[in-house]
Amino acid sequence: MTTTLDRVTTPAAMDSTPRLSLAPSGVRPGRLDGAWWPRSRDLLLELPALAAEIDERWGRITRITVNPEQWPVIPRRIPVTGHTVHAGWFTTEQDQHVIVVCSYAPRRLNLLVVPPQADAVQAARLMAEAADPANTRTASELLAAEPSAGATGTNARSDFLPSAVTPSTGLGEAERRSDLARSRAASWPAAV
């Protein structure tokens, strides 16, 4: 059997250290609890490392929600070392630039998702401001204030991986990847 690697996502998958910034402990956060800078828009690749890092710092993660405007595929379950994290999505109820992370303890983190294509300087600035307890802006407001990182609205889709763009005709790569992700997620054991 031949295995084909997607060269766009493979390097990102090899470095699994999450790029995460959280508000200081013991301080009441502002509108956001911090920021996460994923390397791609592939939740199956990105979320296990994020969940593992937050599990270690904050407690076991049980659920995440995202806005599908920014994610080409949203798996229902994500395998994390020792357990499964359930994933969901909201369109109008959740800012498209936020990921919500919930734990067993009734706690919730609202994290700004820094666009993967942002440069290191932009990302550092956005992550620091999102984790600042004095921040009063929403995730979309933070990104809109950033010159080129703010270009991730509904019409600007350049932040998606080239292999995740669905052609207008025929079965596209995104649909094939989506079907593969769904079949893999369906075969995972139920959460314990």
Q: What is the pTM of this model?
A: 0.69
CA distance 137 to 20: 19
Closest-CA residue to 87 (of 74, 97, 99, 98): 74
pLDDT of res. 86: 93
Q: What is the pLDDT of residues 38-56, one digit of tens each?
A: 999 998 889 888 888 888 7
Residue range 103-137, pLDDT digits in tens? 887 788 999 999 999 999 999 999 999 999 999 99
Q: What confidence score (pLDDT) does residue 138 get?
A: 93
Pick the residue with more confidence: 85 or 82?
85
Residue 7, pLDDT > 60, answer no
* CA atoms of 84 and 63, how far apart (whole Å): 9
Q: What is the mean pLDDT of residues 23-31?
A: 80
User: What per-residue confidence (pLDDT) applies to 88?
Assistant: 92
Yes or no: say if 94 and 138 are a contact pair by the CB < 8 Å rule.
no
Rg value, the chain, Cα? 16
Q: How confident is the model at residue 80 (pLDDT cuts 50, 70, 90)?
A: confident
Q: 30, 134 in Cβ contact below 8 A?
A: yes
Which residue, among 186, 168, 173, has the nearest Cα to 72 in the 3D structure? Answer: 173
Q: In percent, how much of the chain has pLDDT > 90?
A: 40
pLDDT in tens, 128-170: 999 999 999 999 999 999 876 544 443 333 343 333 333 334 4
pLDDT at 185: 59
Span 74-101, average pLDDT: 90
